[in-house]
Chains A and B, each alone.
Chain A
Amino acid sequence: MYSHLLPEFVVERREDRCIRCRACERQCPNGVHVYDSDLDTMFSLEENCVGCQRCAVICPTNALSVRHHPAEYRKNSSWTRDRFQNLKKQAETGGVVLTGSGNDKSYRIYWDHLVLNASQVTNPSIDPLREPMELKTFIGRKPDTLKINMEDGEPRVESELHPNLELETPIVFSAMSYGAISYRAYKSLARAAKESGTLFNTGEGGLPAEMRAEFGSNAVVQCASGRFGVDKDYLNSAAMLEIKIGQGAKPGIGGHLPGEKVAEHIAVTRMIPRGTDALSPAPQHDIYSIEDLSMLIYALKEATNYEKPVSVKVAAVHNVAAIASGIVRAGADIVAIDGLRGGTGAAPLATRDNVGIPMELALAAVDKRLRDEGIRNKCSILAASGIRCSSDVIKAIALGADAVYIGTAALVAMGCTLCQKCYTGKCAWGICTQDPYLVKRLNPEISTQRLVNLLSGWSHEIKEMLGGMGINAVESLRGNREHLRGIGLQEWELNTLGVKGAGE
């Protein structure tokens, strides 16, 4: 069938600069660049281009620029170019339109409508270059009160404490499984988490046995509906356990790793035969209700001798506040909320772009509900999806998050350009692929450094903003919505966020 699709991108090559080194040809996994030796000329097969910018960055003479293709359908507010293309694609294949990474639609991004406070006159701002500024964060269940006895004039804590994890900065790497991303990308996250004193999340693909001793104490291991790679040793090697109920990018459906990506080592880690599709069921088939969830939470706690906090991750859906309350009452130590903009390696486009609610609203609603019910202290809240910069982190904390999960931001730090083709397994940046030729271009030393730099840069910025507000420990900003004001938001949005409008 002859394709009716227009090319997405146009590749412009400045002939006066091109030295025919053919680097672009070698770097492009989609076969866009072709060299004709008879003519000594590079040609471009634009219809294959995904706009990942790998060639433009690699080109030693800056001869290449990749831009949106100028070809246009007749202007139509209803029938946008995306809708044309997707429909035509389906007409040609009869399948589900797949996509990767997070929702790119123009739903309101609340971070961009919230502004922060700073101290003037009545209290002093604090200078983080000259004074201590503390980001240390504990996640896990806290007792309502401590029983302290005095022994020989020395106070001594009598209460028994629940397990808590200590983070040097309130930023945790979100769930990205080995299999979805390459071993090198996966290990870079683990190493960066260890170096920065925070956590990485294994996703549902297991934790390779050889990494457990070194990185286990920084790992959040997932127990998802497919149960890939879950055994006693896996659970006990980790710092924290997470039951994955849902994912912001695709609430209501399970993960999908195509058999082509299931290479030997991935097969061993996931405990499945090599080359088989790893399809996670939509629900956890042993959890059809809140009491079932409670049983799994306590099964995991039993398996790990009550030494590790257990998180439950849900997608932000309409009644997320009530769900979160149920999760805490079921015994979870941490509630992770993944919003509308959460990323994915593969999801049906219709689901990714239309299901779920923005994390900002969900977070505010969950935090309020848990406080209204007097159980906010019994859990920590991890907020995930759409965190792009340090100010998003600090706004999330002021709305009530204990810490945030970052996924897309970490991938971007390693090279990702959000071309949204993760599901093809042909990632030109060596991140979301298992092709050895593509993977080896990702240098794990350098990727680790980029991630460490990202966390350190953001942490510095958070300290600057905290100091500006006259706060020297991040816990004093948690849920402190007095330090936020909304701009350009409607009445109901301000009410849901629990934030005053600017000037109010």
Chain B
Amino acid sequence: MIDNRKIESERFLPDKDIENCGLFGVMNTSGTRFGGEMAINAIKNMKVRGNGLGGGFAIYGLYPQYKDYYALHVMYENKNDEAKKNAEQFLHENFYVVYDEEIPTNPEVDVFCPPLVWRYFITPHKKEINGVSEDEYVISRVMDMNKYMQDVYVFSSGKDMGVFKGVGFPEEIADYFMLDKLYEGHIWTVHSRFPTNTPGWWGGAHPFSILDWTVVHNGEISSYGTNRRFLELHNFYCTLYTDTEVMAYAVDLLMRRQKLPIEVVSKIFAPPMWNSIKYMKEREKQLYTTLRMVYAPLLMNGPFTVVIANQEEMIGLTDRIRLRPITAGAKDDFVFLSSEEGAIRYVCPDLELAWTPPGGEPVVARLNSKDHLKSLNKSV
């Protein structure tokens, strides 16, 4: 990510991936952990939204016994033992490795070229290293591994969370990693991928993750080039050429680094029209005008729906003119976000509320709050 690579001409940049997808997310806002049945069944219900070239899950509240340690899910392609040795040497040099093991898989599930996937629970040697925070230190080491190590790719690196993904329909990935049998969490997000121009690659499936932030995304952003260039100004260099990567870096920049609340960030990604801003109260008008002026290059133009999550929050957002679907649902402490309402009702037949948030209006499910209901009275 942090890279001073200068390209000779943008002409040589690879083409962007084009993909359309299905998304689902479920959270228990009281923090109670639950199994994967709902997420798996819901995404199975939206089978036509994927084509079997990528599926993945992000689970929060995954490793309570190791919640103070960064959990690295690392994939070794071609089951490359040499790569594993190098990576482990690198990890031992840079971190304390508290515990590590192979992520158990079900050998009876037939998936396409499965890599070896291992998990490590690690912590940096010191709280702060040369003025760099723990988080930044972990990020830069993880990026180094992704970039420079052959056959090594880190799926996720947050605390008390993990990403499981691969080539196949999401339910196949779930079976392969035995998600429904082995794990519980208070947030599950899932993605089913329908790429149109790339072959399947285990690392290319969603969710994308930076520390404990994950992004699952459906859409093709027409502003990709503008967004990418702006992120480069902030030293985020895209290497995967997907819209989701751009979205993930933008979230990292605005939410983690600049600590802007999602309510503001959503107005950067999907700002109100000038015609609406014109009629706002003076203070709001000034805020939105300034946001649009300064963050114009981060407007995500064209269709998208995104589900962003971290340990505390699960957020759903669709583009400013709602060109991709999203439905929110709630029952007791459960909040659902889905590409299709049918999938929510399939896994929660006695749903209390279901609503469609308007374009640019985030649905924010937070631990121990009812914030997700804020978008209810604005629903379409």
| B222 nearest in chain A by CB position | A470
For residue B40, give the distance in angstroms from its CB to the closest CB of chain A. 27
Look across to chain B and name the residue whose beta carbon is closest to the beta carbon of A368: B10
| A132: nearest chain-B partner, CB-CB | B273
The 15 sampled A-B contact pairs (Cβ below 8 Å) are: A122-B196, A122-B220, A123-B303, A124-B323, A136-B274, A138-B293, A148-B260, A377-B233, A475-B226, A475-B292, A476-B223, A479-B297, A480-B224, A480-B225, A499-B11
Give the shortest distance, in Å, between B221 (CB) and chain A (any CB): 8
Most chain B Cβ neighbours within 10 Å, of A471, A476, A496: A476
A154 to B281, CA, bound (A): 13
Residue B375, interface by CB 8 Å: no
Contact between chains at A482 and B321 (CB < 8 Å)? no
Separation of A475 and B227 alpha carbons in the complex (Å): 10
Which listed residue (B229, B283, B294, B302) contacts A471, Cβ 8 A?
A: B302
A473 near B: Cβ within 8 Å?
Answer: yes
Distance (Å) between the CB of B279 and the closest chain A CB?
Answer: 14
- Which residues of B lie under 8 Å from residue A500 when comparing CB positions? 11
B327 at the binding interface (Cβ < 8 Å): no
Q: Which residues does chain B contribute within 8 Å of A497, judged by CB atoms?
A: 11
Contact with A along B317-349 (1 / 0, CB 8 A): 000110100000000000000000000000000
- Cα(A138)–Cα(B290), bound, Å: 10
A495 contacts B9, C-beta separation under 8 Å: yes
A475 touches B299 (CB 8 A): yes
Say how far A496's CB is from chain B's closest CB, in angstroms.
7
B293-A470 in contact (CB<8A): no
A494 to B258, CA, bound (A): 37
Pick the 5 closest A-B CB pairs, nearest first. Answer: A476-B223, A476-B301, A480-B225, A475-B296, A498-B10
Distance, CA A138 to CA B291, complexed state (A): 12
In the assembled complex, which residues on chain A have CB atoms less than 8 Å from the CB atom of B220?
122-123, 470
Chain B 259-277 near chain A by CB (<8 Å), digits 1 or 0 = 0110110000000011100
Asked if B8 is at the interface of the complex by the 8 Å CB criterion, the answer is yes
A138-B264 in contact given A145-B258, A473-B301, A482-B224 (Cβ < 8 Å): no
- Residues in B whose Cβ lies below 8 Å from that of A150: 261
Specify which of B8, B223, B290 is in contact with A161 (CB 8 Å cutoff).
B290
Cα separation A72 to B263 with both chains bound (whole Å): 73
Q: Give the size category of A's interface with B.
A: 35 or more
Chain B: CB-nearest residue to A398: B225
In the docked arrangement, what's the CA distance between A469 and B224, Å?
12
B295 within 8 A of A: yes
**B contact residues around A123 at 8 Å (CB):** 219-220, 222, 302-303, 323
**Is B180 at the interface (CB under 8 A from chain A)?**
no
Cβ–Cβ contact B323 & A477, under 8 A: no
Q: Complex Cα distance A177/B157, Å?
A: 61
Q: Does B234 contact A (CB under 8 A)?
A: yes
Chain A residue with the shortest CB-CB distance to B9: A495
**Is the Cβ of B321 less than 8 Å from the Cβ of A155?**
no
Closest to A126 in B: B321
Inter-chain CA distance A410–B11, complex, in Å, is 34
**A26 close to chain B: CB less than 8 A:** no
State in angstroms the CA–CA spacing of A498 and B261 once bound together: 36
In the complex, whether A483 has a CB less than 8 A from a CB of chain B is yes
Within 8 A of A (CB), among B216-270: 219-220, 222-226, 229-230, 232-234, 258, 260-261, 263-264
Does residue B18 face the partner (Cβ distance < 8 Å to A)? Answer: yes
Smallest CB separation, B309 vs chain A (Å)? 21
Which of A138, A145, A483 has a CB less than 8 Å from the CB of B225?
A483
Residue from B219, B226, B292 within 8 A of A479 (CB atoms): B226
Residue of A132, A157, A471, A495 touching B222 (CB-CB under 8 A): A471
- Complex Cα–Cα for A480 and B258 (A): 25
B287 at the interface (CB under 8 A from A): yes
A471 surroundings in chain B (CB, below 8 A): 222-223, 301-302
**B299 and A476 form a contact (CB under 8 A):** yes
Question: Which of B8, B293, B303, B323 touches A142 (beta carbons < 8 Å)?
Answer: B293
Query: Are A146's CB and B10's CB within 8 A?
Result: no
Provide the residues of chain B in CB contact with A368, threshold 8 Å: 10
> Is there a chain A Cβ closer than 8 Å to B16's Cβ?
yes
Knowing A123-B323, A161-B290, A469-B222 are in contact, say whether A148-B297 is a contact too (CB < 8 A). Answer: no
Whole-angstrom distance from the CB of B226 to the nearest CB of chain A? 4
CA distance A157 to B229 in the complex (A): 24
Chain B: minimal CB distance from A478 (Å): 6
Is B6 located at the chain interface by the 8 A CB criterion?
Answer: yes
A142 to B290 alpha-carbon distance, docked (Å):
10
